[in-house]
Chains A and B, each alone.
Chain A
Amino acid sequence: MTEAARNSRSPGRLRHRLRRLVSDAMERDTLRAFVVPGPDVARALGLDLEAAGMEISATPRHASMLVLVGETPESLRRSAAVAYSQIPRPRIAISVGAKNPSPFPEPDFSIPLEQKALERATAEARKRLAGKVLNPHKEEKHAGEERAEDSDGGHASREEPDEGDAIHEDLEDEKARAGKDSDEGHTSHKEPKEHAGKSEEHAEKAETESSDGGRANHKDPEKHVEHESMNHAEMGHDHMDHGDMGFMSMVAMTEGTPRSSDGLQMEWVAAPFGPLFPGLPGGLALTLTLDGDTVAESVVSSAVGMPRFEGMSGSAETFAGWLASLDPFSPVAYRALALRAFEDAAGIAPDERTTLARIGAMERERAASHLGWLAGFGYLTGHARLAERAGKLQLALLRAGGSGESDRLRASGASEISRLKIEVDKLVENLRRNPLLTRRLKGVGEIPGDAEASGSVARARGASADARADDEGYRSLGFEAVVRGGGDALSRMRVRLAEVSHSLDLILAAGSISVPSDSFDYGLSGKGSATVETPRGKASLRLSLRGRGVSGLELHTPSTRHIELVESVAKERELADALVGVASLDISPWEVLH
């Protein structure tokens, strides 16, 4: 008797062997991770997910792990919870440097924001995944799993309260509330309203049922988001309707639907592209109404933006740090902005050494930010090599030149920057000679001539708008604004590429990198204002300093202006072009003021 035959007579043992096999496979398999808010934020925080052994997944459905990176607002964690429920089991969640992941389900483990810890976590995650295959009874329940499951025979034996339940309760309440508030009459889809625009596209039809033989059917009403404008069932798309209709009349199908610019009547479909969309900055909540594959309408907001500051007041000591923590893409620039405003209020000026060190730090941040943008842009446009190179260069640059403990750029730091500059120039040259990339971007993402823009978006349409040009320190280093004509995605990319190179020159000229510190006499008082060229454009701050407190805050950020341009770059564009246009604006959703 063969072993297989023996096993087939003891289904329990066979199942166990199969589990063992799958569990081993899972331990060895590439760890595919869905990253919240996005891989761009992880890189900006200095995490190299690929080096830690993860492969970034574009959709939670193809992932086996969710990585929550950094501090995120509650609304985004809610979207993360929905994304997590779309990861097929066995799955695992880790939180990296987040203090409070609620309402995200309790992560399997939390680690500090360090590359080393992340590398250890990957190995641990593999083991846990493999363990979950062997002991599926310990598989957690999470947000989005139907209550019916609890009373379901298959799961009756594992009703012990676990970490999933807290969030579960939470969302149930939300559902009930939303159901009462909603006047849509969709009692069967009592989805909290806020999910609708924010959760990923997957969410809207993610009402899933498991067809996995071993497990009970589970449906996810939680994840089912009904979009008024995207009711596929009404569009004769549902399979039930295919049968009922017999011959589908195109006239009947499109009756009463809006007519697009080309005169063709089609069903419009609203599809969310964010806040967790892989090709756009994490946290940018974009909803595109598609007319075929053309964008008819767009609605954009930030799921992670800054609060409006007017009338706020707070302690001066912690203000700079607080402002810096709001945007993971440009903490140095915002810290410098706060300190300059303080200095202006107090009527003092920093010495030359401090000025240069700050310039070094800000330029490193700018170059890293542009490279990070380029990596994301490469991913969106499907240019794998570009995404890879730019991401690696960004991480290398963030680590180059030390963290700013020592004032002078050490010899090793300087040579590292010079080495990176050679690699950056090689990359720039490569991109310049890529005719397909040029064709792909030319004429995409054009903005109206009278639109208000700053930073690289403005400089890419011929305006020499750069706050650095008015700065004494920058002028002494031979700064010159990079200006290009064109006003499209191509010229924006070219401006940023040239700026990366120029920024590296400025770092070498400044000779030191030092993140501005909080050594400031907060006893002083007065009114102050400051302007700083952040990686995305001009940010200005006004404040009053009195008795160790700040008040009368007024902040203007470049992304708040640029998010207004989304509509004009997306409208009437083919989907891919619209997305490239939006991405080319390099919006940081974190610095968008609500």
Chain B
Amino acid sequence: MTAAISILALLAGAYLVAVLEGWVSMGRMSITGPLASGAAMLGRESFVPKRRDRVFFEVAPPLLLVSALLAAAVLPLSPGLIVADLATGALFVNAALAYVMVALLMAGWAPNGAYAMVGGFRFLGQLVAYSMLIVMPITAVAMRAESLVTTEVVESQAALPNAIYQPIGFVLFLLAGMAVCFLPPFDLPTAPGELAGGVEAEYTGWRLAVFRLARLVLVVTVAAAVSVFYLGGWLGPVFPPWAWSAAKTLAVAALMLLAGRHVPRLRETHVLEWGWKVGIPLALLNIFVVGVMILVVG
């Protein structure tokens, strides 16, 4: 029952994010737009490249979806509404998101084409840049909660959300989250102007629909993770807990979608350079500062 409600909530979130995405990219808000797009996509034929790696090609889009769903499973929507309240929940988010890279690399390799392959390997490089920036801010979050259980992480923010308590970690995690979702300016693997769609380019019809859905679910999941780790998840006055979770998640998703429109796509080298030379030292500093604050303030 909980799982069913969570999945429905996630799909509803993905739908709303699709509406937001349409609004951001086309300037028109259309409530039924994504529904029409999805149904139309199912009605189109779905080619496959002739000399593809059959297994990888078919598995990549569902794997992307599964990866996002797994990460979502440990994120609470309200106090009781969580699919799996793992003792290592916060780390599990990171573990599940690691499969995003596997899925994209498979999608890049499988079609046997240059654009897709460059896109796939670009994402491998991107992972090297962002993965530490997922784990290290989570470490600082877990330090404050003195637990890796996601519900306890939320409760630890009752007095002050982590976004204010540890702003460096918040910004780093948000940026790394955008990189996980390969949203602009981190859309190196899909890069419409450079790779004509990259890893996504060879998918058509219902396979493309699965790929797009998976990406939307991923955006919702990462936004929900940001809300749980930094914005106090379901905590908030007046409205019921689920409403706070939904509002915060959607707000973060909107921010992630909007931010990339005003900057150019980053260069692969810059993503790596800034991830390691700036991001990791800042993440370490964040852990140190949070540690001192816990010792001093309590």
Q: Footprint of B on A, CB under 8 Å?
A: 19, 21-26, 28-30, 50, 55, 58-59, 61-62, 64, 86, 88-90, 133, 200-202, 204-212, 215, 219, 224, 230, 232-233, 237-239, 242, 269-271, 277-279, 290, 292-293, 378-386, 434, 436-437, 439-440, 574-577, 579
Q: Which of B53, B194, B203 contacts A279 (CB 8 A)?
A: B194
Given known contacts A62-B208, A88-B205, A207-B50, A25 and B44 CB-to-CB distance under 8 angstroms: no
Contacts of A279 in B (CB 8 A): 192-194, 196
Contact status A382-B192, CB under 8 Å:
yes
Contact status A293-B121, CB under 8 Å:
yes
Task: Report the minimal beta-carbon distance from B223 to chain A, rounded to whole angstroms.
Answer: 20
Contact status B184-A22, CB under 8 Å:
no
Contact status A28-B265, CB under 8 Å:
no
7 further contact pairs, Cβ within 8 A, besides A25-B43, A88-B205, A383-B261: A62-B197, A205-B49, A219-B50, A384-B25, A434-B262, A439-B270, A574-B268
Query: B111 within 8 Å of A by Cβ?
Result: yes
Contact status B39-A21, CB under 8 Å:
yes
Q: Which of A219, A379, A385 contacts B193 (CB 8 A)?
A: A379
Q: Which of B49, B52, B114, B265 contacts A382 (CB 8 A)?
A: B265
Q: What would be 27 A-B contacts, judged by CB atoms less than 8 Å apart? A: A22-B40, A28-B40, A59-B196, A59-B197, A88-B44, A133-B43, A204-B113, A205-B49, A208-B47, A208-B49, A209-B47, A211-B47, A212-B205, A232-B112, A239-B51, A239-B52, A239-B56, A277-B196, A293-B121, A382-B187, A383-B262, A434-B264, A436-B185, A440-B264, A440-B266, A574-B269, A576-B265
Contact status B44-A90, CB under 8 Å:
yes
Q: In the complex, identify which listed stretch (B30-38, B76-84, B228-236) lies at the interface while the others stay far away.
A: B30-38
Contacts of B37 in A (CB 8 A): 25, 29-30
Contacts of A242 in B (CB 8 A): 53
Task: Report the minimal beta-carbon distance from B109 to chain A, rounded to whole angstroms.
Answer: 8
Binding site of A, secondary structure by majority: helix, strand, loop or mixed? mixed
Most central of A233, A379, A385 by chain B CB within 10 Å: A385
Contact status B112-A293, CB under 8 Å:
no
Chain A: CB-nearest residue to B191: A382
Q: Which 3 A-B pairs have the closest CB atoms?
A: A382-B265, A22-B43, A25-B39
Chain B: CB-nearest residue to A19: B43
Q: Which of B101-121 contact A (CB under 8 A)?
A: 109, 111-115, 117-118, 121
Contact status A436-B45, CB under 8 Å:
no
Docked Cα-Cα span, A207 to B47, in Å, equals 9
Q: Which of A133, A239, A271, A386 contacts B114 (CB 8 A)?
A: A271
Docked Cα-Cα span, A380 to B40, in Å, equals 28
Contact status B201-A436, CB under 8 Å:
no
Docked Cα-Cα span, A27 to B194, in Å, equals 30
Docked Cα-Cα span, A24 to B114, in Å, equals 36
Contacts of A25 in B (CB 8 A): 35-40, 43
Docked Cα-Cα span, A206 to B50, in Å, equals 7
